[in-house]
Amino acid sequence: AQTVTQSQPEMSVQEAETVTLSCTYDTSESDYYLFWYKQPPSRQMILVIRQEAYKQQNATENRFSVNFQKAAKSFSLKISDSQLGDAAMYFCAYREGAQKLVFGQGTRLTINP
């Protein structure tokens, strides 16, 4: 079965600085999707960014970008110019089959003012 591992239970960063959250996954598939979701204290799951495995170019959404290393099965999230509103749990997810998502354990990100 596919697995997703987030090795950093907690991370903190100073406001306006850059932070990178790590994610690795295990799969034998060649075509798949990867996602980062944000879960603030409201518990709402919010899609941050997604990456198609067949695309070599790293996805970018404003201050959020990924470093997708397919051979290494690594999918890290970089948050630039961190803002207080970025504080949340961040979950990496792999799409398995027809829309079934496999989530990592999460990384709690704290932003220090």
Contacts with other proteins by CB under 8 A lie at 4, 33, 35, 37, 42-47, 50, 52, 91, 93, 95, 97-106
Instruction: Give the residue with the Cβ less far from other proteins, 18 or 105.
Output: 105
Instruction: Give the residue with the Cβ less far from other proteins, 28 or 113.
Output: 28
Instruction: Give the residue with the Cβ less far from other proteins, 53 or 111.
Output: 53
Cβ atoms within 10 Å, residue 60 = 12
Helix, strand, or coil here: 66? strand
In angstroms, rounded to a whole number, what is the distance separating the alpha carbons of residues 48 and 61?
A: 8
Q: Amino acid letter at 93?
A: A
Output the smallest distance, CB 95 to other proteins, in A. Answer: 7
With beta carbons less than 8 A apart as the criterion, state whether 66 and 13 touch. no
6 to 15, 26, 36, 64, 104: CA distances (angstroms): 23, 12, 11, 18, 6
Output the smallest distance, CB 36 to other proteins, in A. Answer: 12
Instruction: Give the residue with the Cβ less far from other proteins, 14 or 88.
Output: 88
